Structure 1
Amino acid sequence: MGHVKTYEEVIYGWFDHFHAHPEISWKEVETTKKIASIVEEMNINYKLFPDITGLVAEIGQGEEVIAVRADIDALWQEVDGTMRANHSCGHDAHISMVLGALLQLKDEPLKKRVRFIFQPAEETGGGAVEMVKRGVIDEVSYLFGVHLRPIEELPLGKVTPAIHHGAAMFLKGSIGGVDAHGARPHQGKNAIDVVFAIQQMLKNIYINPFEIYSAKLTKIVADGGSTNIIPGNATFSMDIRAQKNSVLEELKKRIDEGFEAIKNMFGVELEWNWLDTTPGAEVSEEATQIAKASIIEALGAEYLDNPISTPGSDDFHYYTVLRPNLKAAMIGVGADLAPGLHHPKMTFDKKALIIGAKVLTTTLRNAAQNK
């Protein structure tokens, strides 16, 4: 007689597969196929999209919908000297935990529908927006997410009912000045001088010190081709973050004004493009309370931790920005995760998979029974 796998073994098996087969944003073709095959084996209805990766499965009955989202993409990064797709943010774990909740709930009588969203392209920040465009949160009243947390935020054995992510914006710019001989700097327009002015402008932005924010240059390329040529041209990138969306918008306004002033002061061409915005968390207190009670019910009060604030960001929060009436919270699962999220050698204790799956199962069940 063959060995019958336990619930834990099934989840670990799913994780091992997804971890071994990472795919980057919008390229999660095989990942989507694998999730679909698992859902098919459970005899559950699901929907694929003709033009993008990802899928949506649904169980239960009723007009109201409770939903949970798992991000499915991996990062593209250097691992042991080779550039490749790599699950260093825990999305392989999130898929496995959400599938674990689906497995537990699929045969239960539910008063509401429960929708399982397997979303592509979280890392590039566009996946949630495309899911909203395709109606995946239409009729949804409560939306839950899940994310492993680094050890400095939560150790293994602790679960938080809400993660308060910060907001982030990213920018690329270019400077068009005039090259000059190193002996005749007055004949040119030095792009490096402009870069230094941009750096000082960022340091001179002062917002209420009780707010959490940062704005910094993350890339500068300025090269005249020789050590005796002063470069007139340069490119640069910036990373701007704040805990609140309103503060991020204020930073954007100040930076736009600063660029205009620097452009006029140096008489150069200065162009910049805001590439992407990831909004900060708009966390529902009602969703948080459901998750809090569910953590205690599923695991015990000793597992419960307080909501946490983190400078990281997640495109999960686009759902609430685009649908303000949506009640949402992202559950954070302690996993002794180290050295940190996005580190190419990130590891965590796999017992967190079972903990997360139990919490999600109980949270979705309670939300589906909630009036």
Structure 2
Amino acid sequence: MKIATYNIQNLFHRDADLVKRDMGHNLAAWIQEFESLLQKRFPKSERELQRLEELSLLLGFQKTVYQPHLVMRRKAGKLYLRKKSSVAETEVASSITGWRGWIPLSSLPIKELSMAHKARTIREAQADVLLLHEVEDRHSLQEFDRLLAVEEEVDHTYAEHHVLEGNDPMGRHSGIMAKEGFEVLSLFTHCHARYGEGQLLFDFDFQEYGLKTPLGNKVWLLSAHFTADGKEREISDARRWEQAVHVAETYRAFRDGGYEYVAVMGSFNAPSFCNSLAPLLQETDLRDIGRHPSFVALPDKDVDSSYHRLGAYAKGVNLKQRDYLLLSPALWEKVQTCGMDRRGIWPEKRPQWPVFKSLKNQEQQASEHPLLWVDVEL
């Protein structure tokens, strides 16, 4: 049974505010690199000229304007829909349907190459069960599965598709896909869990999935998305610590209930040495696949391949750890091999690592997160 977890950062469209934030986060680095390349004497190498062209696009020199696919307008109390390339408008809602008000389209389409790299990362993983974070909805997940199946000339790659909406208002939810023979028996969400003075504990979600393998074994997968660092680091750390406590307590409840095969995974958004993750990483018997002897990942290039940075996944895999795949002792003993695929991540600075040949810049990357996988004999 091959299990994988992947924060895919949306499938087809992403909230415009998130896109702007991602671009703003890297703006200073792009400007600095662009100016540095400009100051180099001629003749510049072909790679330097190519990078200048990439940076000019990222910095908006071509004056690219994001255009929505659809425009919604209200006229005389009715809602009309017009395709961007069309002049004609179609009535889609009126007083009969009970619609009132204005509906803005606040998401931007994901680049075609970025989408292709997401699909390739998943297709090459060949996971029997795949848990995804930051998925728009179930329909999008089904459509994405059809893209995965195109090369195999079948209707679908996965037999089951489930998405449970959490607390995020920007269209980022958690989902699971399972291949034929792997049955999803139950789904449960902790989106209503609270802490402190009644605040919602998870700004995304924490979910439980019960599965049955083709041989009849029962496996429980606990999938969580923790709070990322905000402007006030202490508040983010405190929130993550509460989330880690809740997930650890849920895991212990499964173990006390006699369930041996349990995995905990997701984006925890902090390195393993961070105190906010201690309740989960240090106070339970869960073990990180990155510490397993069979863990494989394409190493960094050149001198970084022999180095082990603090908070990285492993020696020569110097990517700051934010995503985890943790196993109970019984599952750990069943591991055949495990690893990480980060070929869809664009390495903006050192360290550098091997990427897909078609990946040329950050806008084309599949996600900022790697795909983690484990193959267990059940």
Q: TM-score, normalised by structure 1?
A: 0.27
Structure with bigger RCO (C-alpha 8 Å, 6+ apart): 1
Q: Between Structure 1 and Structure 2, which shows a larger proportion of helix residues?
A: 1
**TM-score, normalised by the number of residues in structure 2:** 0.26
